[in-house]
Amino acid sequence: MGIRKFIPWPAIALTAAQVMTTYDHEAIDYSTYVSPFVGTTGGGNMFPGVSSGPFAVVKLGPDVSSGTTDAYSGYLPSGNITGFSMLHESGTGGAPKYGVVSQMPVAGRIMDPLADFSMGRRSEDLAEVGYYKSSLANGVTVELAATNHAGVYQYTFPSEQTNSIYVDITHVLPSFRGFGWGQEYRGRNIAVTTDGRYTGEGSYNKGWNLSPDWTIYFCGKFSEKPQSARVFKGSNITEARMADTSSVNTRVAEKIGGIFEFDSSTVTSYVGVSWISTDRACEYMEQELSGPPKFEDVVQTAKDRWNNEVFSKITTSSTNDNDLKLLYTALYGMHLIPSNRTGENPLWTSNEPYYDDIFTFWDLFRCSTALTHVLQPEAYEEQIRSIIDIWRHDGFMPDGRSSNFNGRTQGGSNADNVLADAYVKGVQGSINWEDGYSAIKEDAETQPPNNNDPIAPEASTKEGRGALPDWLKYGYITPSFTRAVSRSVEYSVNDFSLYQVATGLGKTADAQKYLDRSRNWRNHWNPDASSNGHSGFMVPRKADGSFVDQDPLSCGGCYWGDAYYQGLPWEYSMNAHHDFAHTTELVGGTLRMVDRLEKMFEEGLSSRAGKLSGTIFNPANEPSFTTPYLYNFVGRQDLAVQRSRYVAKTFYTTATNGIPGNSDAGAMQTWLLWNMIGLYPLTGQTTFLIGSPWFESMSINLGNGRALKITSSGGNSDTAYYVQSLRVNGENWTKNWLTWSDVFENGGTMEFVLGTQAKKWDTGDPPPSPASDK
């Protein structure tokens, strides 16, 4: 510890919108607790720009180039701004995606369209929910607002000389990692008219998911007629006269775009985007920005949507400013992607909803999808339908997906877990569960075609289960497949997911088969592998059945070509949560398991995984997410509370580096939110492990008049957080877990008494281990 640097929160400017707002006086503006910059440094990769509501299509923000560092969501705190563009991811890694449909203001005239118009900043950028502002070094200010498919750029120039807006179709977020994952411009066109209206399309490829060419269409206009509107290609500016003579297109990576000049110090631009056509992009721009509205009203509408659809879902009695900032900023951060692109799918027509920008279920299935279910049941059902529809048309559900293309799959086919979680919790709506079952069965039985990924060439990294042949033949995965051990734990969890759905659908033979397969992780267990006084770890296993000699503290490079992906043997050996009673037997019983868990929080044991503290437990990575809560299985709920609370309070802050690692599309934020709530979901089961709530009172709005109300007495504070007793729905509760139907299905109450001393209150049955019991 002691290495965390405090980075001050950039000042929040009071916009005209805030001053002018005529609030319903009952309503609270929770958005004032959100800092979009939390998680933008220290590798969090959060997008701080403008998003008009949860899962919005347009994410309008700055694109910064340092020349060396990948800007995954466009933003970096230092470096030159190269443009402000309409599409971004948030909190992702791998290699940047999007950063397309950009504008860049240029003070003065543009003589050479190939010149570098990038510009440093005069002061730190400002951001609020629905609003973003950059002050460029040349005195130009840029303010941004957005609707679902359109954006507003409000420019103020330092003088009334002729000023320019530069539209570069070739603009993308570059990658400097040297893995060949960087996006490329792949051609297309732009047309302008003399009144400044412009339409066009750009095609791009690659990014982390190695996608083939995809195309985005755009339509822009300005608040006033430009003095000149021109297109350029290569280095050649052409005066525009008529629309049909002022268009250019290219098929190669040549600079192409538009230049608009204004004799004014203020200009506003309105831009719509569509994945279908330029006509559609124009319709969005005209409809969503009809009027056009005042800039402040666009900002306010976004704040209202975020308050109504997201922030007001969780209310607390807290007056602790820091806690409220953590709570509402985390809620914001978990709702930026995926993008709801229903009606915007260029690949097939269907009545099913369509969501893209899934980054990735490997990251999201533990905490995020279960919380989305609680907070956004409608969007959640749509997301389930969408991934089943992707299976119908693409052949496989995604693990990751962006620009309408599946990829990448880091471990198992974890959409299976997401579907199983919805299924066991009774999510029905318009979901076709027979198709849902066929989709997960495809993952379990069909090896996907190899996409020949250079970083893991032996089998598909695009979708499904690349290492399936070994899984079916041996019941484990040999080193002929990369990530063999971590994939095998995940395939076990995936097969358990099939068991759950098959059971519910009355497919008893399948249910038994997949329950048996869900125990296959055990085939990697070498009882003789030892480390730090403990024996028995999951290790690589050869086709002849012999184990590979493996240090349980080493995962090699922990990457695509290694036996363990982004986690140590110690961590993956604790990841078959559906079979945890058996894991406990393998390690030598409950006391040995408690000791093993304690070892995972001991500082100085590992230099690799616990990069912030040297613990085996890694707060920055998903395979460690459940670890602190595993104490519930072995009767030490007090330690679960102590460890998880420590992690939450140590690694999550309201500073720009206030997320322990990459946000992973909001996965980290949802881990924190469950800690605040005092529950932890076991995805694929109805079980929630009980922790300790942060607030004296919290209410979660579950829709349809239902709520989960969680209270705590006994001086809830940073020291008084051990559970002394609990009542659930008014009844004394002695189990350290409960189920979906107990408190979520129809709402419920949880009344905690907390104290400063650990107390053995959880005298009831331990949490279920369904694959161990049968």
Footprint of ligand NAG on this chain (CB under 6 A)?
A: 67, 80, 116, 118-120, 137, 236, 340, 342-343, 353, 378-379, 382, 725, 732
Minimum Å distance from CB 227 to ligand NAG?
A: 21
Q: Reply yes or no: is the peptide bond before residue 338 cis, omega within 30 of 0.
A: yes
Minimum Å distance from CB 76 to ligand NAG?
A: 12
Give whichever of 307 and 492 is closer to ligand NAG, judged by the CB atom: 307
Give whichever of 719 and 732 is closer to ligand NAG, judged by the CB atom: 732
Give whichever of 118 and 162 is closer to ligand NAG, judged by the CB atom: 118
Nearest to 280 by CA among 338, 219, 323: 219
Looking only at the bridges linking them, the beta strands covering 722-728 and 679-681 are unpaired
Max CA distance (Å), the chain = 82
Minimum Å distance from CB 527 to ligand NAG?
A: 43
Nearest to 60 by CA among 121, 120, 129, 146: 146
Q: Reply yes or no: is the peptide bond before residue 292 cis, omega within 30 of 0.
A: yes
Give whichever of 268 and 339 is closer to ligand NAG, judged by the CB atom: 339
Minimum Å distance from CB 216 to ligand NAG?
A: 17
Minimum Å distance from CB 200 to ligand NAG?
A: 18
Distance, in Å, from the CA atom of 716 to the CA atom of 294, rounded to the nearest integer, reads 45
Minimum Å distance from CB 68 to ligand NAG?
A: 10
Give whichever of 357 and 490 is closer to ligand NAG, judged by the CB atom: 357
Decide if 687 contacts 630 (C-beta within 8 A). no
Helices (runs of H) and strands (runs of E) counted in the chain? 19, 33
Give whichever of 67 and 533 is closer to ligand NAG, judged by the CB atom: 67
Minimum Å distance from CB 637 to ligand NAG?
A: 16
Name residue, tokens 């971590």.
486
Distance, in Å, from the CA atom of 463 to the CA atom of 447, rounded to the nearest integer, reads 9
Nearest to 710 by CA among 670, 658, 754: 754
Strands in 405-406's sheet, in edge-to-edge order, are 358-359, 400-402, 405-406
Minimum Å distance from CB 583 to ligand NAG?
A: 33
Distance, in Å, from the CA atom of 214 to the CA atom of 183, rounded to the nearest integer, reads 11
Hey, CA dihedral for 563, 566, 572, 576, is it positive or negative?
A: negative
Which distant-in-sequence residues (6+ apart) come within 8 Å of 701 by Cβ?
Answer: 312, 313, 314, 315, 707
589: tokens are 């019983």
Encode 684-743 in three state secondary structure. CCCEEEECCCCCCEEEEEEECCEEEEEEEECCCCCCCCEEEEEEECCEECCCCEEEHHHH
Minimum Å distance from CB 57 to ligand NAG?
A: 8
191: tokens are 């047309």
Question: In this structure, what DSSP letter does residue 151 have?
Answer: E
Give whichever of 237 and 455 is closer to ligand NAG, judged by the CB atom: 237
296 CA to centre of own chain: 29
Minimum Å distance from CB 343 to ligand NAG?
A: 5
659: tokens are 């997320």
Neighbours of 479 (CB within 10 A): 14
Name residue, tokens 């969090």.
44
In one letter, which amino acid is 757? Q
Distance, in Å, from the CA atom of 461 to the CA atom of 466, rounded to the nearest integer, reads 7
Give whichever of 280 and 487 is closer to ligand NAG, judged by the CB atom: 280
Distance, in Å, from the CA atom of 127 to the CA atom of 299, rounded to the nearest integer, reads 11
Give whichever of 599 and 727 is closer to ligand NAG, judged by the CB atom: 727
536-559 burial, b if ≥16 CB within 10 A, otherwise e?
Answer: bbbbbbeeeeebbebebbbbeebe
Minimum Å distance from CB 82 to ligand NAG?
A: 8
Minimum Å distance from CB 60 to ligand NAG?
A: 18
Nearest to 207 by CA among 310, 334, 356: 356
Give whichever of 12 and 427 is closer to ligand NAG, judged by the CB atom: 427
Which distant-in-sequence residues (6+ apart) come within 8 Å of 644 by Cβ?
Answer: 628, 629, 675, 680, 691
Minimum Å distance from CB 239 to ligand NAG?
A: 11
Give whichever of 128 and 382 is closer to ligand NAG, judged by the CB atom: 382
Name residue, tokens 């490329």.
184
State the helix-helix crossing angle for 484-504 and 508-517, rounded to 10 degrees.
160
Minimum Å distance from CB 105 to ligand NAG?
A: 12
User: Dihedrals φ, ψ of 219, to 5°?
Assistant: -150, 120
Which distant-in-sequence residues (6+ apart) come within 8 Å of 111 by Cβ?
Answer: none
Minimum Å distance from CB 335 to ligand NAG?
A: 11
